[in-house]
Structure 1
Amino acid sequence: MRRIILSTESGADLPRDLAETYDVQVVPMHIIMDGEDYLDGELPVQDIYDYYERTKKIPSTTSTNAHEYEEFFTNIREKFPDCIIVHIGYTSKASSSFQNAVIAAEEFEDMYLIDALNVTGGLAAIVLYAANVLEEEPDIEPEQLVEKIEAVVPKSRLSFIPGSLEFLKAGGRVSNMASLIGTLLKIKPCIELKDGKLMSTKKYRGKMSGATEKLFHDYLKEFNIDRKQLYFIYSIGLDEKIKQRMEEVAKENGFENVRWIQAGGMISTHSGPGGFGVAGLEQ
């Protein structure tokens, strides 16, 4: 039986230990600061925040290009000869990365590409679902695995609160006036994935500690999330007391396992420090 290897982008924020455990191959996306190109996953996130403090500018981000994908897929085949590759990609509605993977895949056989229509923890949830299926059914046919993954894609639900309106303003995502009003009223926008697109939905007023609980309450009210596994996402700077409280709330709501995922460079560039999110799969 030929081995199936999973791959994804750095924008999944897949924890390194889990990537190593399941042999998930991760290709880096890009962060640009002062004209210098840095690989996401290798650039410390704190450097992004320090750059903003110095310049009041946020870095730009770019997708993995087709040539990089060709090298990436070639390296996988060299590392795992005669393998079948199942690539689970960052939403095509927010990046050209998936389309570039499609272009590169034309040069390869025995490869399947799935648009996860999700990012960060929402994408990681799908990748880890696929990894668990492979672990439980090592002899599964690739077509069956792909079918299962595609079925779970619309069930992956992600909601998050950016940590900084200043980052949104610096990136041109809200007007100066909207940012000022938001700061004065302590309004925190909720960002959700809708059909693969990042959309601002609800707004929460008050401190981050209260906003995170409100977000989680609304999330559970809207989605029937599988209680076996939950993912919390955070960007550097989130108060440890908030993290402790959210773990308590998750347990109070019957979640068996909670895994924290640190937002990498791609997401942190847009959300700023101190952000919080939640991801899981609907039953």
Structure 2
Amino acid sequence: MRQIILSTESGADLPENLVVKHAVQVVPMHVIMDEQDYLDGSLPVTKIYEYYDRTKNIPSTTATNAHEYEEFFTKIKMDNPDCTIIHIGYTSKASSSFQNAVIAGEEIDDLFLIDALNVTGGLAIIVWYAALLLEKEPMIEPIKLVELIKAMVPKSRLAFVPGSLEFLRAGGRVSNLAYLGGALLKIKPCIELIEGKLVSTKKYRGKIAGVAEKLMREYLSQYEIDRKHLYLIYSIGLDEEVKKRMEEIAEEYGFENVKWIQAGAMISTHAGPGGFGIAGLEV
């Protein structure tokens, strides 16, 4: 039986303990600022905020390219000659990364590519699901595991509110007029992944503490989320009291396993500091 190795991009924001425990291979995406290319994961997120404070611009982000994928998959194969790779990728609707993986994988045997149609915690929870399946049944046939993962892709639900409209404006994602109105009224958009696309689905008004609670309760009312696992997502700057309150609500709703993950460079570049999100799998 061939060894199965899971891989994904840095844009999944996988917690380090999960990466280590399940030997998930992570290929970095890119953050570019001051004309320098940084590998996502090697750059402290605080540097992004410092760059914005200094320039009032946000860094640009780029996908993992086909050559990098070829090197990434080839190294996994060299280190594990008889392995099968299952790569669970960042949504193809918001990045060219997955298509680049497809191009690179054309000449690589025993490689399965799955478009997760999700990002950050919504992608991470699919990888986590796959890792738990593999842990429970290490001798599972790769094709069967791939089928189970693909069946879970449309059940992954992610919603988040950015911490700063300034970052959305700087990135061209809101107009100056909308930014000024939102800033004055303390309005924060809710961003969800709909068929792999980042879509603003509703707006909340008020401080992040109240907004986060509204988001979480509405999310848990809208979706029938599996109570075994829940990801709560934060970008640096989210108040500890808010995080504590979100944990209390998760306990109130009966979740057995709640994990916090920090938004990495790819999401933080566009969402800014102090954001909050939630990701789970529908039953």
TM surpasses 0.5: yes
Q: Compute the displacement of 1:34 (Å).
A: 1.5
Runs of 5+ consecutive residues of structure 2 not aligned to the other structure? none
The CA distance in 2 between the partners of 1:79 and 1:263, in whole Å, is 30
Runs of 5+ consecutive residues of structure 1 not aligned to the other structure? none
The CA distance in 2 between the partners of 1:109 and 1:88, in whole Å, is 16
The percentage of counterpart residues that share the same residue type is 73
Residue in 2 aligned with 1:68?
Answer: 68
- In structure 2, the residue corresponding to 1:75 is in which secondary structure? helix
Q: Compute the displacement of 1:150 (Å).
A: 0.3
Residue in 2 aligned with 1:143?
Answer: 143
Q: 1:41-80 residue pairs with structure 2 within 5 A?
A: 41-80=41-80
The CA distance in 2 between the partners of 1:165 and 1:62, in whole Å, is 21
Q: 1:1-283 residue pairs with structure 2 within 5 A?
A: 1-283=1-283
The CA distance in 2 between the partners of 1:66 and 1:173, in whole Å, is 27
The CA distance in 2 between the partners of 1:69 and 1:97, in whole Å, is 9
The CA distance in 1 between the partners of 2:227 and 2:214, in whole Å, is 19
2:256 maps to a residue whose letter is E
Q: What is the TM-score normalised by the length of structure 1? A: 0.99
Q: Compute the displacement of 1:78 (Å).
A: 1.8
The CA distance in 1 between the partners of 2:260 and 2:72, in whole Å, is 27
The CA distance in 2 between the partners of 1:249 and 1:193, in whole Å, is 23
The CA distance in 2 between the partners of 1:38 and 1:82, in whole Å, is 32
The CA distance in 2 between the partners of 1:16 and 1:258, in whole Å, is 15
The CA distance in 2 between the partners of 1:72 and 1:48, in whole Å, is 26
The CA distance in 2 between the partners of 1:79 and 1:280, in whole Å, is 33
The CA distance in 2 between the partners of 1:125 and 1:51, in whole Å, is 30
Deviations for 1:96-149, whole angstroms, at most 9, x for unmatched residues?
000000000001011100000000000000001000000001110000000000
Q: Compute the displacement of 1:81 (Å).
A: 2.0
Deviations for 1:225-277, whole angstroms, at most 9, x for unmatched residues?
00011000000000000000000000001111110000000000000000000
- In structure 1, the residue corresponding to 2:149 is in which secondary structure? helix
Deviations for 1:29-71, whole angstroms, at most 9, x for unmatched residues?
0000011100000000000000000000000000000000000
Which structure 1 residue ranges, 4+ long, deviate > 6 Å from structure 2? none
The CA distance in 1 between the partners of 2:80 and 2:60, in whole Å, is 34
Q: Compute the displacement of 1:218 (Å).
A: 1.0
The CA distance in 2 between the partners of 1:89 and 1:179, in whole Å, is 32
